[in-house]
Structure 1
Amino acid sequence: MGIEDSSAAIPYADSAASRDSSPYSSASAVAHTLLLLQSDDPNLRVQAAKEIRRLTKTSQRYRRNFSAAVGPLVDMLCCDSADANEAGLAALLNLAVKDETNKIKIIDAGALKPIIGFLRSENLALQEHAAAALITLSASSVNKPIISASGAIPCLVDILGHGSSQAKYDAVMALYNLSTHPDNLTLILHTNPIPPLINLLKSCKKSSKTVEKCTALLESLVGFEEGRTVLTSESGGILAVVEILESGSLQSREYAVGILLTMCQSDRSKYREPILREGVIPGLLELTVQGTVKSQSKAQMLLRLLRDTPYPRSEIEPDTLENIVCNIISQIDGEDQTGKAKQMLAEMVQVSMEQSLRHLQQRALVCTPADLPINSCTSEVTLK
């Protein structure tokens, strides 16, 4: 399920291994815990929920065996006790991890209403558990439209601006999961998520997972004109994306260049100048050498769109990367500054050559016996 189930099951304080040494002891533990969960004593129910949380932390078998606990645990979410709420929610989260049947069963049992209530709670622990639960529950394609129709999206966007660091990360992840359902993107866009997403780009570590998912979500949202307009009008919005393009993780940089390329492709005359003003050229040049395969392709496409004309030149002035960049720099700083472009390209070429040399050396070392110099390696078919 990729990133959709990346919120690992919440560990219980007792980190001892699950008591499942034999099928008999496993069945006994499940039966005993389910019995406690039905008790009239609220303390015993909390104890049972914590035991379910512990046993299902790493065991897919226990997640299946405790499927019958879903209903009683959802009932605990409706109690007036914060302890019962937290214990029940944590147990449900662990039951849902990597279990499609339990994900759907939890929603069908009525968990969404109290979970959304917890998103609005001043109890930060409950808020964080609720956001984490929605990450896992929204990994199910069946649940995505149900969750979005329940009113969860505005609450998640509100957390982006006012939640704890952990809750913000979980909210971004949940929103990203929901955004993969086509009908949900417009619902997300109408809750005005771009300003808090930009603030997260500015405040979080550029290489963080939070930033990665923010840029992924933004790339989807700028597919709409409303999204592009909001990003451009937001103070420092384009600059924040450019900074991720320069300093983010490889995946974040790929999303960031995708954001700018989508904008420029949609209306080059409108977005070319705002993008150029934020000093995007050095980062794009670096991506043409050091980015992922998709980043390199997108960076080259964007460079072509950013020059004075996006169309190929005549044979007199070939459509090379150097000419494209020289043209862009001259439009910004004047003809006497085109040397900047050549210097940037020279640096990028040098980096590319060094990377290629290291790669060749590594390959040579793999195929060369330890007692022979690298330059003596011959091209021969190795017998297997």
Structure 2
Amino acid sequence: MLVEQLSAGSQEVKAVAARELRLMAKIGKENRSFIAEGGAIPALYRLFRSTNPVAQENALIAILNISIHDENKRKIMEENGCLELIVYVLRYGLTTEARENAAATLFSLSAVHDFKKMIVDEHGAVAALADLLMQGSPRGKKDAVMALFNLSTHPESWSQMLNMGAVSALAGALRDEIVAEEAAGALTLLMRHHILAQIIASEDTAITNLVGLMKRGTPKAKENAIAALQEMCIHGGLNVI
């Protein structure tokens, strides 16, 4: 019934149906599996282009909740056009909450290694995450940096991360205590490529901020800062050292 309402109802009915699925998907693996198997994923992601902000936001959060169940991640990624529309909401969502939840959805999906490069290669995804990291709310920055961290673990992601502004955004995030720990972790992974080690070292205050994080951060932040400085020295060359 809810899936039928998503497909054939008015915008208001679709918003309500998406909300019900969102709430159902929040509770329990069985619900998430049942919703996905019932054909809700394509009906939900078609609402990502809705002009009704409530419908768009509820549909996005429903997909986010469904994606928590690992088996559903592949179903979402295999839906033709779904990833593209998640990125669409990340870039052009009608509300801040919708954009933030799109970033959280990419974070959830990027937990699977096979999907990292697909997300990196999706037009606008990395650039939009970088923008949210620089300009988002505290929650949005957290979702964005966690997604970028996951994407940084793929060895072929570095060029897109550089070209789309993510490397610069992560270096700048070292100044923000909300996301500095995760930003340092992502930079550590990226600096295994000597080009990025040199570029990051040349960023204004990057070294200073890593040293400051090493001195004043949380235990995990200190660990990440030390690891980042080590990778910088190993791969950046004598000038960086």
- Confirm or deny a common fold (TM above 0.5): yes
The aligned residue for residue 186 of structure 1 is 159
The aligned residue for residue 112 of structure 2 is 140
How far apart are the structure 2 equivalents of 1:186 and 1:268?
19
Q: Is the 8 A contact 2:6 2:14 kept in 1?
A: yes
How far apart are the structure 2 equivalents of 1:249 and 1:162?
23
Using the size of structure 2 for normalisation, the TM-score is 0.89
How far apart are the structure 1 equivalents of 2:173 and 2:120?
22
Matches within 5 A, 1:272-291: 272=241
**TM-aligned CA deviation for residue 149 of structure 1:** 1.6
How far apart are the structure 2 equivalents of 1:232 and 1:267?
8
How far apart are the structure 2 equivalents of 1:226 and 1:269?
13
Matches within 5 A, 1:227-376: 227-266=196-235, 269-272=238-241
- Gap regions ≥5 residues in structure 2: none
The residue matched to 2:113 in structure 1 has which SS? coil
Residue 69 (1) aligns with residue 44 (2): no
How far apart are the structure 2 equivalents of 1:62 and 1:89?
17
**TM-aligned CA deviation for residue 64 of structure 1:** 0.7
The aligned residue for residue 184 of structure 2 is 215
Q: What is the aligned counterpart of 1:43 among 12, 28, 36?
A: 12
**1:139-194 per-position Cα deviation (integer Å, ceiling 9, x unaligned):** 12232222112121122122222223222221111111112222113321332333
How far apart are the structure 1 equivalents of 2:235 and 2:122?
33
Using the size of structure 1 for normalisation, the TM-score is 0.58
How far apart are the structure 1 equivalents of 2:75 and 2:31?
16
How far apart are the structure 1 equivalents of 2:82 and 2:54?
17
Matches within 5 A, 1:88-127: 88-97=59-68, 99-109=69-79, 110-121=81-92, 123-127=95-99
**TM-aligned CA deviation for residue 89 of structure 1:** 0.5
The aligned residue for residue 345 of structure 1 is none
Provide the aligned C-alpha RMSD in A.
1.9
Q: What is the aligned counterpart of 1:129 among 92, 101, 106?
A: 101
Aligned amino acid, residue 63 of structure 1: R
Q: Is the 8 A contact 2:174 2:181 kept in 1?
A: no
**TM-aligned CA deviation for residue 228 of structure 1:** 2.1
How far apart are the structure 1 equivalents of 2:63 and 2:102?
10
**1:283-319 per-position Cα deviation (integer Å, ceiling 9, x unaligned):** xxxxxxxxxxxxxxxxxxxxxxxxxxxxxxxxxxxxx
Q: What is the aligned counterpart of 2:143 among 170, 173, 190?
A: 170
How far apart are the structure 2 equivalents of 1:269 and 1:145?
32
The residue matched to 1:228 in structure 2 has which SS? helix
Larger proportion of helix: 2
Q: How many residues align?
A: 236
Greater C-alpha radius of gyration: 1
